[in-house]
């Protein structure tokens, strides 16, 4: 199979520890830089749907997870908002395990129970637009590695928005991307202040404080989220060090972030435990029978998982 276009996988659903560390260091600018970097092509542009036979549904990497993002409202009508894109991104994480035509079938099947027929048709039209949008992003010139200049990042943001306007109308852009645009604009504003060499330290601090004061409640909540996650992680680690069992850990999480988020964290724990069990099985085979290990790897791990598995190999 051809290499996976990074742009199809560069979604908010795939924020990982490297991004988190960068974002904590750079503020919202860290997220902007990460996201724009993710829109550079990997080694090949995104293409039309592959024609190989569809893999079984769902993809193995989604085992134990649930689709993210509410897509319906009263009467089975489509809820047009960023959560629809999160739902699309959930399924796009399987790109590499499954071809795009199979993923599209997954998306349709997933939303068919929630949406009226006309709303489903609207959603699938937006799905096609979203995939085409991301495919065109792959053809944008990549920013040089390590680019941090506000002007260069702003030009890339405008290039992305110009591509987006070719695939979505103004109403759709406002509904689907307004939050993302606000975050990008905030990140650029902060970066411009931080990079303005004409400002004194006091002037820079005052302007940053003024910018912070204008944040919406949603932006304040989003900025606090990484700190909340860190607090929960540290509390759980401390509880486990004291000998807390799974039920006690779950109760602690529920107190800190609520029962729904606690349930999602428990599911992640289960998925991670299952992954490590599979890795240990593979490493045991690798030590005792490399030929059998190679066959096991090919049969039991998806192409995407094999890339991750390489980190555990000698």
Q: Which residues of 159-174 are buried (b: 16+ CB within 10 A; e: fewer)?
A: bbeebbeebbeeebee
**What pLDDT is recorded for position 32?**
53
Distances in whole angstroms, Cα of residue 142 to Cα of each of 22, 31, 79, 113, 177: 19, 17, 33, 40, 22
For the chain, the helix, strand and coil percentages under 3-state DSSP, each to the nearest 5: 70, 0, 30
β-pair partners for 73: 77
Query: Domain map of the chain by residue range?
Result: 1-215, 216-257, 261-314
Q: How many of the other CB atoms lie within 10 Å of CB of 128? A: 11
Residue 75 has pLDDT above 70, yes or no: yes
Contacts with 19 (C-beta within 8 Å, 6 or more apart), sequence order:
30, 31, 34
User: Comparing 71-75, 250-254, 303-307, which segment has the lowest mean pLDDT?
Assistant: 303-307
Q: CA 185 to CA 200: how far, in whole Å?
A: 23
- Tell which wins on pLDDT, 107 or 97: 107
User: Comparing 82-91, 168-177, 268-277, 289-298, which segment has the lowest mean pLDDT?
Assistant: 268-277
For residue 28, what are its two tokens?
A: 């919202």
Three-state secondary-structure class, residue 62: helix
Average pLDDT over residues 66-72: 81
Q: CA 290 to CA 295: how far, in whole Å?
A: 9
* Confidence band for 109, pLDDT divided at 50, 70 and 90: very high
Distances in whole angstroms, Cα of residue 184 to Cα of each of 31, 146, 167, 254: 8, 18, 20, 32
Average pLDDT over residues 200-218: 89
Give 223-245 pLDDT, tens digit per residue: 777 777 888 888 999 999 999 99
Give 154-192 pLDDT, tens digit per residue: 999 999 999 999 999 999 999 999 988 988 898 899 999
Q: Tell me if 269 sits within 8 A of 258, measured CB to CB.
A: no
- The DSSP string of 104-146 is HHHHHHHHHTTS-HHHHHHHHHHHHHHHHHHHHHTTSPPPPTT
Q: How many of the other CB atoms lie within 10 Å of CB of 40? A: 18
In 3D, which of 126, 12, 117 has the Cα closest to residue 80?
A: 126
pTM: 0.62
- Tell which wins on pLDDT, 175 or 256: 175
């Amino acid at each position: 199979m051809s290499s996976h276009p990074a742009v199809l996988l560069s979604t908010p659903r795939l924020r990982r520890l490297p991004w988190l560390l960068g974002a904590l260091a750079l503020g919202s600018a860290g997220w902007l830089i990460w996201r724009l970097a993710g829109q550079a092509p990997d080694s090949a542009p995104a293409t039309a749907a592959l024609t190989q036979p569809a893999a079984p549904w769902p993809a193995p990497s989604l085992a134990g997870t649930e689709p993210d993002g509410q897509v319906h409202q009263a009467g089975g009508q489509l809820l047009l908002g960023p959560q629809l894109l999160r739902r699309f991104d959930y399924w796009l994480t399987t790109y590499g395990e499954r071809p795009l035509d199979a993923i599209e079938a997954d998306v349709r099947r997933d939303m068919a129970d929630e949406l009226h027929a006309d709303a489903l048709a609207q959603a699938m039209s937006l799905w096609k637009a979203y995939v085409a949008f991301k495919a065109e992003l792959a053809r944008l010139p990549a920013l040089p590695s390590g680019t941090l200049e506000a002007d260069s990042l702003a030009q890339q943001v405008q290039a992305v928005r110009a591509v987006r306007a070719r695939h979505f109308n103004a109403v759709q852009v406002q509904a689907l991307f307004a939050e993302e645009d606000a975050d990008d604009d905030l990140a650029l504003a902060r970066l411009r202040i931080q990079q303005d060499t004409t400002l004194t330290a006091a002037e820079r601090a005052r302007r940053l404080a003024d910018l912070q004061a204008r944040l919406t409640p949603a932006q304040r909540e989003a900025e606090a989220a990484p700190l909340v996650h860190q607090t929960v992680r540290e509390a759980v680690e401390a509880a486990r060090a004291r000998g807390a069992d799974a039920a006690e850990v779950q109760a602690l999480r529920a107190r800190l972030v609520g029962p729904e988020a606690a349930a999602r964290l428990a599911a992640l724990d289960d998925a991670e435990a299952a992954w490590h069990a599979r890795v240990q099985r593979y490493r045991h085979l690798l030590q005792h029978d490399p030929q059998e290990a190679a066959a096991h790897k090919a049969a039991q791990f998806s192409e995407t998982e094999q890339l991750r598995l390489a980190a555990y190999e000698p």
